[in-house]
Amino acid sequence: MVKNSREEKIESNIGLVYSIANRFSGKGIDYEDLVQIGCIGLIKAVDNFDESRGFSFSTYAVPLIIGEIRQHFRDDGTVKVSRSIKELGRKIGKLREEFFLKNGKEPTVKEIAEEIGISSEETARAINASMPVFSLTVNEDESQSEFNVPVESYDKDVSDKIALLQVLDTLEENDRLLIKCRYFDELNQTKTAEIIGITQVQVSRREKKLLNLLRSKLA
């Protein structure tokens, strides 16, 4: 009876695997393989899900499925940055510098996309893939730079949205407010500091720690 219940749970949620596999298709791994890898994450979710924690099964399962597939990409080493993406990244870097000199502020992803004539998704992908080490802001309290482009709050893929909301929900109230101000409301660090009631330097330090934490949880 337990075995049947387990199998029914897997079968009834297999659609989550197909949906997430579709997102990663065309990136070097066969779709059928992506489904099989995603099923490993689904099985782990079924075996470890605890209803008493108060959230839905899909909220728990989606990050596990995504994590299993991403881990396979990392291990397999099939994700490559194409020449076109690198060239687009360099073009974006030049545009960002020109925009800053002209307007005195960093451009948003949307503004960059409109200037180049491509989608926000393509712009974000090029920035993430080709420009991870470019310094756009420098913390006042340290010489180390970090890549920090204000982005719009848009959620193309429901699985990413579920995973992000789940992780944000684990943060303290002030930390959630900081992320909201910086990356959803697109406020600068000074304005964010005024809203939260801390200094700009404290915002800079805390933001860096939170971004590292979110990356590790979503990975």
pLDDT, position 139: 44
CATH assignment of 81-139?
Answer: 1.10.10.10
134-160 pLDDT, tens digit per residue, is 333 344 444 444 444 444 433 344 556
Structural domain spans, the chain: 2-76, 81-139, 153-219
pLDDT, position 85: 74
Comparing C-alpha atoms, which of 149, 153, 115, 107 is closest to residue 130?
A: 149
Comparing C-alpha atoms, which of 160, 158, 179 is closest to residue 168?
A: 179
Higher pLDDT, 161 or 85: 85
With a pLDDT cut of 90, the percent of the chain lying above it is 13
What mean pLDDT is reported for the chain?
Answer: 76
59-69 pLDDT, tens digit per residue, is 888 888 998 88
Is CATH 1.10.10.10 what the domain over 153-219 is classified as, yes or no?
Answer: yes
Is CATH 1.20.120.1810 what the domain over 2-76 is classified as, yes or no?
Answer: yes
Domains 81-139 and 153-219 share a fold: yes
37-54 pLDDT, tens digit per residue, is 999 999 988 888 888 777
Residue-wise DSSP of 125-159: HHHHHH-TT--SEE-TT-S-EE---------S-HH
7-40 pLDDT, tens digit per residue, is 888 888 999 999 898 888 877 788 888 999 999 9
Higher pLDDT, 216 or 198: 198
Contact (CB, 8 A) for 84 and 72:
no
